[in-house]
Structure 1
Amino acid sequence: MLRTNWGHKTSYFQQNRWGSFDCKLCNMAFATQGKYFSHIKSEFHLNRLPKEQQVIQADTKPVVFVSIMEHHSNILPWREAGAEIVVIPEDQTGKVDLQFLENELSKYRDYPYKVGSFSAGSNVTGIVSDVREITRLLHSYNALAFFDYAAVAPYVKINMNPSKEESIDALFLSVHKFVGGPGTPGVLAVKKSLLSNEVPTTPGGGTVYYVTEKEHTYLLNPEEREEGGTPDVVGSIRAGLVFQLKEAVGEDYIHERERSISQKVKERLLKNPNIQLLGSTEAERIPIFSFMVRCGGKFYHYSFICALLNDLFGIESRGGCVCAGPYTFSLLGIPYELSVELGNALNEGYDLFRVGFVRVNFNYFMSEETIDYILDAIDFVAENAIWFLPQYKFDMERSAFMHRAYSTKEGRHKARKWISEVTYATGEMSFPSYDSENLDNLGSYIQEAHKLAQNIKENRYAHFYMSDNTLEIPAQLEHLRWFILPSEALTFVKGRNIQLSTSESPFCPKNYSHMPLEPKLPEPLPTPKRKDKKKNPLFPKVPKKIIKRVMNAVNDFDMIKEGDRILVCISGGKDSLTMLHALKQVQRVSPKHFEIGAATVDPQVPEYDPSPLKAYLEKLAIPYFYEQYPIVELASAKMTKKVSLCAFCSRMKRGILYSCARREGYNVLALGQHLDDLAESFVMSAFHNGLLRTMKTHYVNDQNDLRIIRPLAYVRERLMKEFAEEAELPVIVENCPACFAAPTERHRTKLLLASQEQLIPDLFSSLLRTMKPVMSGNFEEVNTKRPRNEEEECQECVFNPV
């Protein structure tokens, strides 16, 4: 039980407009606060106090009713205060569900402390709440009515006392959102009857009347008592001017102008099938619009759309959940379970998965030309974003998409304006001028953007390469990916038949009364025709960038000798098929004569079926050996506990290939590991074993009767992926029989290197120079050689040095 002192000092205090200190209980006025304090200690005052003072149940929580559309600042303080929060959903029109609110108020009818704290309008959708109706309903159940006017205060009438039943108990707003408002303080307007606490919320300087070394007394004037510290005099004056400006423009004019703009913008955005407008389009609103841009079954990341609007058109917009997380999940149709999964991905450092949207505001002081320009820019971005996405990358540190030109320290340094460049050496403030070329009119920027898009369509990012962004995302998080990646956009732009419509987002935004249009997929560009040579589907020409690297590796490590018979190990993946065609091309131009055959090991598991390769190799007229062996079944019967299934499988397949080569008279075995594989093995060996090792590019087996080569040792994986897609090779998905595509240590290392390559573009060139000394010859000079049974681990999982 907590006994209140309100009746002693503050319950009967009021300060009138002339500044006197009045005691309502005794109906007396005093010139100073000191005289008032003397009065409340007198017998005259004490004898008039009620005999039973108010008693408060300390263990009774206040109940606070909030809507789903609240800003975080109208949710988190109540949570942190320990209040019981009741969330009121929206109805079919997108407004606060008044019937649901009344049901909840009835449920908590007997609670002594009830507060309704609602937004007067959403900062996400601009939908305006029925403040009067909500207030009347709250008061009918003896609940206080608080309203957050931050989003709509600049554009609507504010009336705290339209009638006795509809009088607002408190409202709060941010003046910096008004025209001319930046640099102003926030405003709290509250009924004096609610400010009966003796101790201010934040005690400190400016809140006290008198302080001794043992005692202190606070000011009675609540406005002074609750605003400690040095007052923001300049900001407060500016806030007054801001409200004066709003009154001078006229609230009726502002309301009509905002209504007209809202209707125009809404109609325009709804016409574009790629734009997913969030929130109800039927409810009354101010011109605040939030939307997402579709790309097939997924969306463009809001951060990229914001960046593109800024970089192409100089339009500032906001991306994210705009401090309204619960409302965002509701609008996007994200259930709680999915929100938890997304939150876990963020906690693991994958901030790219943070959901959100793009928000744009249109204000009454904008000209029609400016409004049309912004709408034209949004339309352009919604229809042409795919062509620009490869130029951007997601910066994990800044949690935002950035143009690649500004993704490095050097690029950002050139783009920024620095305070350190300001000087006062001449006795006045001076700084360098920045050249900026302005076009004649806003429409010219739209025309220039179309020219840029057309140029991209013609050139298709020739000689432009990037790492596969999908490699940066763990397989277990792929089902959460709601956005397309720059590498996917590049593949589409280059005409590699990517199906943007087949992959779906894990959520679908909430649908109100309007039916969304079917998203318009970007039209793929026609595949460029080669004028010089006719395409050969069986023997496609391997690009020079691959052949050159293969030839360099073959020559550097003396992989091919006169008269060699090379057995190419084919799994059906992009790497081994690329190696086969590359060696066939090398065979035609090499001065050394050698033969080529191919072999595949079928482990006889349902997850991996390489049998379609038989027909393909027959068409190529290459000697082909299809070795079937129940490796996994044999492992369950023969494998010892000391050996992992990965090691057993790897050793068995290698042994089968050795036997095939000996049986068919081949003296060289060609394996398809590429530069990415070697780099990953190098890093894993250093991390896990403390040894500088990687796969050898050319070595002799223990029996000294077979040589093993890796012709792709200098070739990046992405080059082979591009070639396989362009040549339409019959790629077979190969899963390790031990884990069947489960996340592996190698995959984690791949993610690590991919993230570092974003920061260090020449990473793999540096790693290649580092690895060269350990890619050939014996390891005795570098490290002590370990027993073979510890070396032959599966390359999919840990480390395979051979």
Structure 2
Amino acid sequence: MGARRASGISLQKTRPFRGARGAARDSLAPIVKPHSSTPAKNAGARLRRLEKRLLGQLAQTSEAFKLLEPNDRVMVAVSGGKDSMSLLSLLGQIRARAPFPLELIAVNLDQGHPGFPAEVLPNYFEAQGFDYKIIREDTYSIVKSKIPEGRTYCSLCSRLRRGILYNVAQELGCTKIALGHHREDTIETLLLNLLYSGQIKAMPPRLQSDDGRNVVIRPLLECAEADIAEYAALMQFPIVPCDLCGSQDNLKRQRIKRLIDELAAENPNVRGNLLAALGNVRVTHLLDRALSGDTAPAGRDAWLDASDDGQASELGLGERSAFDAPAGSPDQPLIPLSALRR
């Protein structure tokens, strides 16, 4: 089907990327490809099933938290990693089928990292018909001058990047900023805050910035990282590595990742349970003094009623899967799959 035009943005259906036009292959960032043993026809069928699941999860999350609304102009922050590339592709399909006007603009921030392949993303955006803007700000030099050698740059780099993107969103007249965080990102953040900051806090699907100027959304927050990684591989996105600066990984986050992996090896429900817990809060069973006037209702107590071996928790009783509709969803979603134009 040919491309349609609405509000000056192409609605051309996205397709697997076949390489930047006019650029030598050795000038591109590493390409994530499907496993060589996967037959092409099976890979195509797998891609269709995976895409349908991810679109369904994205639509459910959007409906539950009002992420995508009529006449939104969404700035998609694209770093070139698998998560943001997948987000842009999926939002492009939502835009083409949504029953209301929706604009997208892809924005990439070139932070001056050595070896950054500056031509890769513009070539991809043009090939796929996305409106885009490339911002060039040398935050790398600032971070290098402020952070001691051997320490991770991620925290300061993230803060500088966030401030720049907030300003760009205002300049472009965008109503939302879409980020590519997924299920694993939010449950790791939950455990990091619990264990290292003494807070019950994760990544919200929708958040207004502290200055009130921007609304940040995370449409992939209920999507599994493994599904996103496979989708990116099957779509053959041009992946830009995130370690160009040579900084060490966030060691605490890596430790949390390993902890979740170990627990999931014993109980496959662990990731789903952690995500479900974020939507199943019992405020009367916490120690927040601001809520101390509330009395816990009669009923189960997580400690008093627990079995000796913790079997109830192990079986995932009361679990809401990451793939289930969010609790409290209205009967008719904002973007039900049935309403998307085929």
Normalising by structure 2, report the TM-score.
Answer: 0.66
1:637 shift after superposition: 4.8
**2:183 equivalent to 1:675:** yes
Match of 2:328 in 1: none
Match of 1:659 in 2: 167
* Paired residue total: 250
Counterpart CA distance in 2 for 1:545 and 1:662 is 33
**2:215 equivalent to 1:702:** no
Match of 2:20 in 1: none
1:650 shift after superposition: 1.1
C-alpha contact (below 8 Å) 1:607/1:740 kept by paired residues? no
C-alpha contact (below 8 Å) 1:542/1:585 kept by paired residues? no
Alpha-carbon spacing, 1:555–1:525, altered in 2? closer, same or farther (3 Å): closer
Match of 1:764 in 2: 271
Q: How does 1:561-710 map to 2 (within 5 A)?
A: 561-606=69-114, 608-637=116-145, 645-710=153-218
C-alpha contact (below 8 Å) 1:671/1:709 kept by paired residues? yes
1:635 shift after superposition: 3.1
C-alpha contact (below 8 Å) 1:682/1:692 kept by paired residues? yes
Counterpart CA distance in 2 for 1:611 and 1:713 is 29
Read off the aligned partner of 2:207 and give its amino acid letter: Y
Read off the aligned partner of 1:578 and give its amino acid letter: S
Alpha-carbon spacing, 1:560–1:639, altered in 2? closer, same or farther (3 Å): same
Say which SS state the counterpart of residue 185 (structure 2) adopts. Answer: helix
Read off the aligned partner of 1:627 and give its amino acid letter: I
Match of 2:40 in 1: 527
**2:34 equivalent to 1:496:** yes
Read off the aligned partner of 2:156 and give its amino acid letter: F
Cα shift readout 1:160-179 (whole Å, capped 9, x = no counterpart): xxxxxxxxxxxxxxxxxxxx
Cα shift readout 1:245-303 (whole Å, capped 9, x = no counterpart): xxxxxxxxxxxxxxxxxxxxxxxxxxxxxxxxxxxxxxxxxxxxxxxxxxxxxxxxxxx
Picking from 224, 229, 251, the partner of 1:744 is 251
Say which SS state the counterpart of residue 772 (structure 1) adopts. Answer: coil
1:728 shift after superposition: 1.2
Match of 2:9 in 1: none
Counterpart CA distance in 1 for 2:212 and 2:147 is 27
Alpha-carbon spacing, 1:530–1:639, altered in 2? closer, same or farther (3 Å): closer
| Structure with greater Cα Rg | 1
Alpha-carbon spacing, 1:608–1:773, altered in 2? closer, same or farther (3 Å): farther
Read off the aligned partner of 1:717 and give its amino acid letter: E
1:621 shift after superposition: 1.8
C-alpha contact (below 8 Å) 1:608/1:734 kept by paired residues? no
1:656 shift after superposition: 1.0
C-alpha contact (below 8 Å) 1:608/1:735 kept by paired residues? no
Say which SS state the counterpart of residue 279 (structure 2) adopts. Answer: helix
Cα shift readout 1:293-325 (whole Å, capped 9, x = no counterpart): xxxxxxxxxxxxxxxxxxxxxxxxxxxxxxxxx
Counterpart CA distance in 2 for 1:669 and 1:708 is 5
Say which SS state the counterpart of residue 80 (structure 2) adopts. Answer: coil
Consecutive unaligned residues of structure 1, counting only runs of 5 or more, are 1-494, 499-523, 775-780, 785-802
C-alpha contact (below 8 Å) 2:152/2:249 kept by paired residues? no
Counterpart CA distance in 1 for 2:44 and 2:235 is 17
1:708 shift after superposition: 0.4
C-alpha contact (below 8 Å) 2:43/2:234 kept by paired residues? no
Match of 2:221 in 1: 713
C-alpha contact (below 8 Å) 1:701/1:708 kept by paired residues? yes
**Identity across matched positions, percent:** 24
1:704 shift after superposition: 1.8
Higher relative contact order (Cα pairs below 8 Å, separated by 6+ residues): 2
Counterpart CA distance in 1 for 2:44 and 2:256 is 42
Counterpart CA distance in 2 for 1:596 and 1:558 is 16
Read off the aligned partner of 2:79 and give its amino acid letter: S
Alpha-carbon spacing, 1:783–1:685, altered in 2? closer, same or farther (3 Å): farther
Counterpart CA distance in 1 for 2:270 and 2:244 is 28
Counterpart CA distance in 1 for 2:280 and 2:288 is 9
**2:68 equivalent to 1:555:** no
Counterpart CA distance in 2 for 1:631 and 1:733 is 17
Match of 1:791 in 2: none
Counterpart CA distance in 1 for 2:268 and 2:145 is 48
Alpha-carbon spacing, 1:728–1:531, altered in 2? closer, same or farther (3 Å): closer
Cα shift readout 1:531-560 (whole Å, capped 9, x = no counterpart): 99xx9xxxx896111111111111111111
Alpha-carbon spacing, 1:627–1:648, altered in 2? closer, same or farther (3 Å): same
Read off the aligned partner of 2:77 and give its amino acid letter: C
Counterpart CA distance in 2 for 1:676 and 1:783 is 30
Say which SS state the counterpart of residue 528 (structure 1) adopts. Answer: helix
Say which SS state the counterpart of residue 625 (structure 1) adopts. Answer: strand
1:756 shift after superposition: 0.9
Counterpart CA distance in 2 for 1:525 and 1:703 is 49
Alpha-carbon spacing, 1:527–1:756, altered in 2? closer, same or farther (3 Å): same
Read off the aligned partner of 1:653 and give its amino acid letter: R
1:748 shift after superposition: 1.4
1:496 shift after superposition: 2.5
